[in-house]
Structure 1
Amino acid sequence: MRISFFDRFRLGVAVAVAKTVTALVRSLRLGAASVLPGEIARRLHPNLLQLLSRQVKHGVIFIAGTNGKTTTSLLLRTMLERQGWRIAHNAAGANLVNGLMTALLANTNLIGQLSADYAILEVDENILPKVLPSIQPKFILCLNLFRDQLDRYGEVDTISQRWKDAIAQLPKETVVILNGDDPTLSYLGQQLPQRVLSFGLSEPEAYLDEIPHAVDSIYCPRCGHSLDYQGVYLSHQGDFHCPSCGFEKSKLAIDSRKWPQILIGIYNKYNTLAAVLAAQEIGVDADTLLDTIKNFHAAFGRSEELEVAGKKVRILLSKNPVALNETIRAVNQQRSNGGSSTTLMVLNDRTPDGTDVSWIWDVDTEKLVEKGGTVVVSGDRVYDMALRIRYSQAEGNVCKLIVKEDLQDAIATALEHTPTGETLHILPTYSAMLEVRGILTGRQIL
Structure 2
Amino acid sequence: MGKDIQFADKLRSGLAVSVAKSVTFFVRSLRLGAASVLPGSIARRIEPQLLTLLSQQVKSGIILIAGTNGKTTTSLLLRSILERKGYRVAHNATGANLENGLVTALMESANSVGGLNVDYAILEVDENIVPKVLTPIQPKIILCLNLFRDQLDRYGEVDSISKRWTKVISTLPADTVVIPNADDPTLCYLGQQLKQKVSFFGLSEPEQYLEKIQHAVDSIYCPRCGHSLDYQGVYLSHLGDFTCPSCGFSKSQPTLNSQEWEQVLVGLYNKYNTLAAATAAVELGIDEKTIHNTIPTFQAAFGRAEELEIDGKRVRILLSKNPVGTNETIRVVTQSNDKTTLLVLNDRVQDGEDVSWIWDVDTEKLVERGGTLVVSGDRVYDMALRLRYSENTADSKLNLIIQQDLKQAIDIALKNTPDDETLHILPTYTAMLDVREILTGKKIR
Give yes or no for TM over 0.5. yes
Q: CA deviation at 1:96?
A: 0.6
- Which secondary structure state, in structure 1, belongs to the residue aligned with residue 137 of structure 2? coil
Aligned equivalents of 2:307 and 2:30: distance in 1? 26
Pair 1:249-2:251 in alignment = yes
Q: Which residue of 2 aligns with 1:348?
A: 346
Following superposition of structure 1 onto structure 2, how do residues 141-290 of structure 1 map, counting pairs within 5 Å?
141-290=143-292
Counterpart selection for 1:324 from 303, 306, 326: 326
Q: CA deviation at 1:108?
A: 0.5
Q: Which residue of 1 aligns with 2:435?
A: 436
Q: CA deviation at 1:445?
A: 2.5
Aligned equivalents of 2:183 and 2:262: distance in 1? 18
Q: Which residue of 2 aligns with 1:28?
A: 30
Superposed CA RMSD in Å reads 1.2
1:352-398: CA deviations, max 9, x gaps? Answer: 11111111000000000111111111111110000001111112211
- Which secondary structure state, in structure 1, belongs to the residue aligned with residue 335 of structure 2? helix
Q: CA deviation at 1:30?
A: 2.4
Aligned equivalents of 2:356 and 2:291: distance in 1? 40
Identity across aligned pairs (percent)? 70
Aligned equivalents of 1:27 and 1:315: distance in 2? 28
8 Å Cα contact 1:52/1:104 also seen in 2 = yes
User: Aligned letter for 1:433?
Assistant: M
User: Aligned letter for 1:438?
Assistant: E
My pick for the range that moved more, 31-40 or 108-117, is 31-40
Aligned equivalents of 1:41 and 1:399: distance in 2? 52
Aligned equivalents of 1:423 and 1:35: distance in 2? 34
- Which secondary structure state, in structure 2, belongs to the residue aligned with residue 300 of structure 1? coil
Aligned equivalents of 1:441 and 1:235: distance in 2? 33
My pick for the range that moved more, 429-438 or 262-271, is 429-438
Pair 1:364-2:362 in alignment = yes
8 Å Cα contact 1:341/1:373 also seen in 2 = yes
Q: CA deviation at 1:263?
A: 0.5
Aligned equivalents of 2:26 and 2:411: distance in 1? 32
Aligned equivalents of 2:214 and 2:110: distance in 1? 46
Q: CA deviation at 1:277?
A: 0.5
Aligned equivalents of 1:43 and 1:316: distance in 2? 37
User: Aligned letter for 1:378?
Assistant: S
8 Å Cα contact 1:180/1:249 also seen in 2 = yes
TM-score when scaled to structure 1? 0.97
User: Aligned letter for 1:210?
Assistant: K
Q: Which residue of 2 aligns with 1:92?
A: 94
User: Aligned letter for 2:67?
Assistant: G
8 Å Cα contact 1:34/1:445 also seen in 2 = no
8 Å Cα contact 1:38/1:101 also seen in 2 = yes
Between the two proteins, the alignment pairs up a number of residues equal to 442
Q: CA deviation at 1:31?
A: 2.3
Q: CA deviation at 1:170?
A: 0.7
1:268-300: CA deviations, max 9, x gaps? Answer: 000000000100111212221111111111011
Q: Which residue of 2 aligns with 1:381?
A: 379
Aligned equivalents of 1:344 and 1:21: distance in 2? 37
TM-score when scaled to structure 2? 0.98
- Which secondary structure state, in structure 2, belongs to the residue aligned with residue 334 of structure 1? coil
1:212-232: CA deviations, max 9, x gaps? Answer: 111111111111111000001
Aligned equivalents of 2:251 and 2:172: distance in 1? 24
- Which secondary structure state, in structure 2, belongs to the residue aligned with residue 151 of structure 1? coil
My pick for the range that moved more, 71-80 or 343-352, is 343-352
Q: CA deviation at 1:331?
A: 1.1
Following superposition of structure 1 onto structure 2, how do residues 133-144 of structure 1 map, counting pairs within 5 Å?
133-144=135-146
My pick for the range that moved more, 211-220 or 35-44, is 35-44
Q: CA deviation at 1:88?
A: 0.2
Q: Which residue of 2 aligns with 1:47?
A: 49
Aligned equivalents of 1:296 and 1:71: distance in 2? 10
5+ residue gaps in structure 1? none
Aligned equivalents of 1:68 and 1:108: distance in 2? 27
Aligned equivalents of 1:291 and 1:76: distance in 2? 12
Pair 1:404-2:406 in alignment = no
Aligned equivalents of 2:92 and 2:264: distance in 1? 20
Q: CA deviation at 1:315?
A: 0.7
Which aligned runs of 4 or more in structure 1 are off by greater than 6 angstroms?
A: none
Q: CA deviation at 1:205?
A: 0.7
Q: Which residue of 2 aligns with 1:307?
A: 309
